[in-house]
Amino acid sequence: MTTIPPGAVAAESLLVVVPAPAEPACSGPGTIIAGLPLLRRVALAAERAGFERILVHPRVCSDPRLLEGTAAVLLGAETVPAPMARLVLLPANVLPQARWLRALRDMPLEPETLSVDATLSAAVETTTGGDLLHAAGNADDLAELIAQLSRKLARVDHGDDPAGRFRLGGGAGAAAAETWLLRSLIKDTEGFMSRHFERRVSLSLTRRLVTTSITPNAMTLVSLAVGLLGAPFFLSSNPWLQVAGGLLFLTHSILDGCDGELARLKFLESPRGARLDFWGDNLVHVAVFSCMAIGWSQSVGAAWPLLLGALAVSGTAAAAMLVARQSAEAANASTGPLADAVANRDFIYLVILLACFGKAHWFLVLVALGTPVFMLLVRWGAGRHRAA
């Protein structure tokens, strides 16, 4: 028998979806969660996690249409894995995050050792994958399969990660799974108001939009149009008009959250969509800052606010190009926590507060001074990321 060094990356990774024990009707593979059947979500998440093959027990998929458009295939007797394989066994009633599946695929594991969690999701690195797949195909459910494998392999329990997967059943149906899935879209780096207000609104909208044919790119264009519509309101020093512009600016920010949420929920993320979102967002900022500068210049009858506006606009454009370049160099590049804190969208509420007094243009001072600081923090964060 070939020996696999502990912690080595397996030659092939396979995800095997097996019937869950006592699976209730509300957690079946065809259960619709945020616009997609559960089984399709599992298959697409496994593709994102990097599994070479995704196998589905025939009893899990009675309708082949559930797998259309995915790389998943039915598990059959002719299925033969590579000589060395990392197999991840997933109950059919578990909704996973791609990062959680990737962690199971890559976790250090002793050869011929079965690692199991509280949902009976399991991982094993083996040279007898053919026998294991045969046992999986003949098992009535995953509990029976785990019991069989536990008699042959050393068994360990790996840490539970409720943030990485959701188990349907036991009173937790599609609505609860959808709520969990939507909440997982909230980023740790978001500001207080973004997390507790904007995300609540955008996720509520996304919950309704995800079942429609509206695409993430379409939402990006709607968000862009709303932001650009709000910019001219800052040409005036009238508080009411400035507040209207500020509220449109806030609406743009909320809708801008919906496009990313739709992309992740529908598995439609793409470099093109990310670029459209990024540059559209920055175009709105440039338009708003330009109108603020022009309006301020007209209200005081002097040209110096235009210079301040030029500094804000050029700084915004330079910072955008810096972030875009670093993102192109490394897909997982990080700007760093300090830069994320400086760039979070809670600044919009300061714009609205200043607008109540007809002084929204004062925000240009913060932009002109803060953008160079942001760029330095981005460079520093990128340096630390490369060092790590």
pLDDT of 349 above 50: yes
| Residues above pLDDT 70, as percent of the chain | 85
Read off the pLDDT of residues 38-83 as tens digits, 9 standing for 90 and up: 999 999 999 999 999 999 998 888 788 888 889 898 887 667 777 7
pLDDT confidence of 331, banded at 50, 70, 90? low
What is the rounded average pLDDT of the residues 138-147? 88
Q: Closest by alpha carbon to 148, among 104, 181, 100, 116?
A: 116
Looking at residue 195, its pLDDT comes to: 81
Read off the pLDDT of residues 302-328 as tens digits, 9 standing for 90 and up: 999 999 889 888 888 887 787 777 766
Helices 98-106 and 38-49: crossing angle in degrees, nearest 10, is 50
pLDDT confidence of 240, banded at 50, 70, 90? very high
Looking at residue 3, its pLDDT comes to: 40
CA distances from 240 to 287, 295, 349 (A): 19, 14, 15
What is the rounded average pLDDT of the residues 196-206? 91
pLDDT confidence of 161, banded at 50, 70, 90? confident
The CATH code belonging to domain 185-387 is 1.20.120.1760
Which 8-state DSSP code applies to residue 238?
-
The CATH code belonging to domain 12-167 is 3.90.550.10
> Which is more confidently placed, 380 or 300?
300
Residues 6+ apart with CB under 8 A from 164: 96, 97, 99, 100, 103
In the chain, what are the domain boundaries?
A: 12-167, 185-387
Q: Which phi and psi angles does 144 have, rounded to 5°?
A: -65, -40
Looking at residue 203, its pLDDT comes to: 93
pLDDT confidence of 246, banded at 50, 70, 90? very high
